[in-house]
Structure 1
């Protein structure tokens, strides 16, 4: 049971169809052994940066449980999903009656993912549990990610976590656990995933048919920060060029820098630019946080506070721009102006 979801990145595999996971053997072993013990927690908070495999791990664990509904008979490790099994086929096609995948729905008018997971989406979980209550099967809800829950939706999920139905499991994904309601975090078992190391990232990309080589390989590995999705944006969406243009703008002055700002803003606000805009948003936020840390380490408290305030402002303005569909080019130009002023 799954709603229409945003398209996956070019070159990527949807988590429900991905047969391999790299770099998280300890987390897989922990989940398998916890389930086998019969004492597993009803809600697991899978934490870690975006694009490192949290959703793939959640679907692998769901496949494991639904394939072995009796914990005592379950294997001690998670195996790669069997493509011939009914459970795997149902999960891959979104036709499983025992799993609900909650994510931001797609706006039919714009084709873009909406700004949040709303309470209407969460109500689907209530119907899901009601429709399957008499089957005796495991019922699994994957919230992907919980960071996208708006306030009402978060409160609705909290009520379910406080009184979970029998034989239910919540797999709650988060890129930034500090942004979640403390009451949601307190009702979940935290499971922290680390960014992929270089070997695991190379293996994950090779699984997708991308064998890194050539002069840009090291740049991609360094800039991806252990994230498969970031690597795909760098390789398939012009992310390396965007990052280079951003650096040139920050280093430049005068009319030439202004011209480059407009060129970059045009690219980021063009048709079908959602993915690369998200990439730039992360790049911008990350650079400002880096500048704040560097200033703090150097003992320049005033400069550190200036960048910290700018970091908070950027996040809010990007959220407002997305929520109200504001002119993206003007938002980008304004943010770049503020960053250059702060520098």
Structure 2
């Protein structure tokens, strides 16, 4: 799977099993969000179907891209409003979606002796849907391969986990992160790239949520506050003015997400009372960030207060 970076052993496991003739019928692809698990599952499905059909002309890929391959299906949360995707997706994958696999599973594969079903993510299945899926995992129709993406496998039904072969994706190393992000955001400055790598904490998907938001400037301000305490409030006032306009809402939300993580990173180097101070600041910042979005608190006031929690790191050192 050359389009992805990192986790080479995990990414090669399915192809190795297929080549050896012992391909398991269900694979649980686990790891933190943003590591490329879903992209890997889709790519793996395409290759498994192409190999089974002895497809040398790329017909499999073309049919999948057109949504026309009869032996390929993806289950994911559906849009709340199909005509207005900006309204987001449903909270879960429903039992109706799982039952919708019935006609496909009730007949033989069309293009070869194999079909592949990707579920992204299986964590999103409502409980009745999980129970319905379990029946297919326990007695899979011949030639059926399930690729199940999971960000939190511990929350799944034990009976589902027991039917699957585990494929674990680890967070990426710094060099791997740099490769992915440099390709995805080619115009990013070195400072911005470094800030994205820190914010991503090994997850390119997480890092890319901050792309284009001048995260480097936010990081510089947070580091200055943590280092000097911002006794004259200069940095906090500047941040408040920058992040409070309505047009700055995406940067403001990035700031709210980043501050607790920034405090946690700084806390790792502390001990004793300093660590306690940092952990208290982390808890307070986390609570305020959640409340700010849920209750639409004033952005300028919230930004200033969040900066105050970062300033406590100066006392903790």
Looking at CA atoms only, which structure, 1 or 2, has the larger radius of gyration? Answer: 2
Q: What is the total number of aligned residue pairs between the two structures?
A: 301
Partner residue in 1 for 2:64: 91
Partner residue in 2 for 1:195: 171
Change (3 A) 1:338 1:207: closer
Change (3 A) 1:107 1:67: same
Partner residue in 2 for 1:156: 129
What does the per-residue CA deviation read over 1:41-77, in whole Å, with 9 as the maximum and x for residues that have no partner?
A: 333222233333212211111011111237xx8xxxx
From 168, 183, 191, the counterpart of 2:144: 168
From 80, 88, 99, the counterpart of 1:113: 88
Are residues 1:142 and 2:118 paired?
Answer: yes
From 31, 37, 41, the counterpart of 1:58: 41
Partner residue in 2 for 1:15: none
The offset of 1:311, in angstroms, is: 7.9
- Alpha carbons 1:50, 1:227 under 8 Å: kept: yes
Distance 2:65 2:3 in 1: 14
Q: Please give the secondary structure, in 2, of the residue aligned with 1:68.
A: helix
- Alpha carbons 1:103, 1:117 under 8 Å: kept: no
The offset of 1:124, in angstroms, is: 1.5
Partner residue in 2 for 1:239: 215
- Alpha carbons 1:314, 1:335 under 8 Å: kept: no
Distance 1:278 1:185 in 2: 35
The offset of 1:32, in angstroms, is: 0.8
Are residues 1:266 and 2:263 paired?
Answer: no
> Normalising by the residue count of structure 2, what TM-score does the alignment of the two structures yield?
0.70
**After the TM superposition, which of the residue ranges 205-214 and 103-112 deviates more from structure 2?**
205-214
> Normalising by the residue count of structure 1, what TM-score does the alignment of the two structures yield?
0.66
**After the TM superposition, which of the residue ranges 53-62 and 244-253 deviates more from structure 2?**
244-253
Distance 1:195 1:111 in 2: 29
What does the per-residue CA deviation read over 1:8-34, in whole Å, with 9 as the maximum and x for residues that have no partner?
A: xxxxxxxxxx97122232122211122
- Alpha carbons 1:292, 1:307 under 8 Å: kept: no
Q: Runs of 5+ in structure 2 lacking a partner?
A: 313-317
Distance 1:237 1:264 in 2: 12
Q: Runs of 5+ in structure 1 lacking a partner?
A: 1-17, 74-80
CA RMSD of aligned residues (A): 4.3
